[in-house]
Amino acid sequence: MKSLFVFIGGLVLATLVSAQEVAPDALIKSVSTDVLEIVRKDKDIRNGDSKKAAALVEVKVLPHFNFTHMTQLAMGREWRNASTAQKSVLIDEFRTLLVRTYSKALTEYKNQTIDYKPFVMRPGEAEVKVRTEIKQPSGGKPIQLDYYLEKTSSGWKVFDIEVGGISLVTNYRESFASEIRQGGIDGLIKSLQAKNKSGETAAVKK
C-alpha cells in the first residue's frame, strides 16, 4: 500500500495547465479531484490493466516531476562523479522504476480520500512543502503524505515526496550508495536496469 500513497503524491499534480498562476496547495487540491475521478471510473485500471495504467502515468503524472533533480538528490555526492552519459541513463532508469511503481499503485486505488493541511507560502518562495493526509475508506490509520515542489521556468515541479515522514529521495540515496559501494556507478545502473526488466517496483521503507 505504500506505493499507492507515493503514486497519489504524483497523481494529484497531473493535467496542469497553468502551474505558475496557481498556488501549490490550490493546484494539488483542484487537480487531484479531477484525476482521482478518472481512476474511480476506469474499471480496466482498477482491475489491473498495467499497460493502461502506465500510459496514464506517462501522460498525466510524469510531466510534473523534475526527474533530473530527483536523481541528483538520490545520488548525493556520487552525482558529480558520474559522466554525462551515466547521468542520462540513471535519470531514464530511475524514471522507468517510478513509472512502474505508480502504475502498480494506480491499480490498487480503493477510494481513499485526501485531507489537505493548512499551507503557508512566503512571497517569492521557490521551494515549498504541501502537507496532506490520506484517509482510508475502512477507517484505518491515516497516512501522512507531503510533497516538495520547486518553481521552475515551466511551472511547479515535484522533486521529493514524503510518505509517513520518510523521504522517497532519501530512501533511494541509501540504496543507491550501497549499490555504488559494491559495483560503482555502472553497477548501480545495471541494478536499476535489472529491476526494470523484471518489473520490480519502487518502495518506501517503513
Distance between CA atoms of 34 and 117, rounded to whole angstroms?
19
With cut-offs at 50, 70 and 90, classify the pLDDT of residue 74: very high
| The pLDDT of residue 78 is above 90 | yes
The C-alpha cell that represents 33 in the structure block: 479531484
Asked if 58 and 99 touch (Cβ cutoff 8 Å), the reply is yes
The three-state secondary structure class of 39 is helix
Distance between CA atoms of 192 and 17, rounded to whole angstroms?
32
Q: Is residue 103 part of a domain?
A: yes
Which tops the pLDDT comparison, 173 or 1?
A: 173
Task: Please give the residue range of the domain that contains residue 114.
Answer: 2-198
Helices of type H across the chain? 2-11, 24-41, 43-46, 50-60, 67-75, 84-106, 168-198
User: If 0-12 CB within 10 Å is exposed, 13-18 middle and 19+ buried, where does residue 91 land?
Assistant: middle
| The pLDDT of residue 190 is above 80 | yes
The terminus-to-terminus CA distance of the chain in angstroms comes to 11
The three-state secondary structure class of 111 is coil
Q: Is residue 162 part of a domain?
A: yes
- What is the tally of structural domains in the chain? 1
> According to the model, what pLDDT value does residue 150 have?
93
**What CATH number should be reported for the domain holding residue 113?**
3.10.450.710
> According to the model, what pLDDT value does residue 157 have?
87
DSSP string, 114-145: EEEPP----TT--EEEEEEEEE-TT----EEE
Q: Which residues, 6+ apart, have CB-to-CB distance to 37 below 8 Å?
A: none
Q: Is residue 206 part of a domain?
A: no
Q: Once rounded to an integer, what is the mean pLDDT over residues 6-32?
A: 62
Q: Is residue 192 part of a domain?
A: yes
Q: Is residue 42 part of a domain?
A: yes
> According to the model, what pLDDT value does residue 59 have?
79
Distance between CA atoms of 40 and 203, rounded to whole angstroms?
23
Q: Is residue 98 part of a domain?
A: yes
Distances (CA, A) of 29 to 23, 61, 73, 134, 193: 10, 15, 26, 13, 35
| The pLDDT of residue 181 is above 50 | yes
Asked if 93 and 179 touch (Cβ cutoff 8 Å), the reply is no
With cut-offs at 50, 70 and 90, classify the pLDDT of residue 108: confident
Tell me which residue of 44, 45, 55, 34 sits closest to 4, measured CA to CA.
Answer: 45
Q: Is residue 130 part of a domain?
A: yes
The C-alpha cell that represents 24 in the structure block: 501549490
Mean pLDDT (the chain) is: 83
With cut-offs at 50, 70 and 90, classify the pLDDT of residue 89: very high
Q: Name the percent of the chain lying above pLDDT 70.
A: 84
Which tops the pLDDT comparison, 200 or 26?
A: 26
| The pLDDT of residue 21 is above 90 | no
With cut-offs at 50, 70 and 90, classify the pLDDT of residue 98: confident
> According to the model, what pLDDT value does residue 141 have?
87
Q: Is residue 204 part of a domain?
A: no
> According to the model, what pLDDT value does residue 200 have?
60
The C-alpha cell that represents 156 in the structure block: 511547479
H or E element at residue 156:
strand 155-163
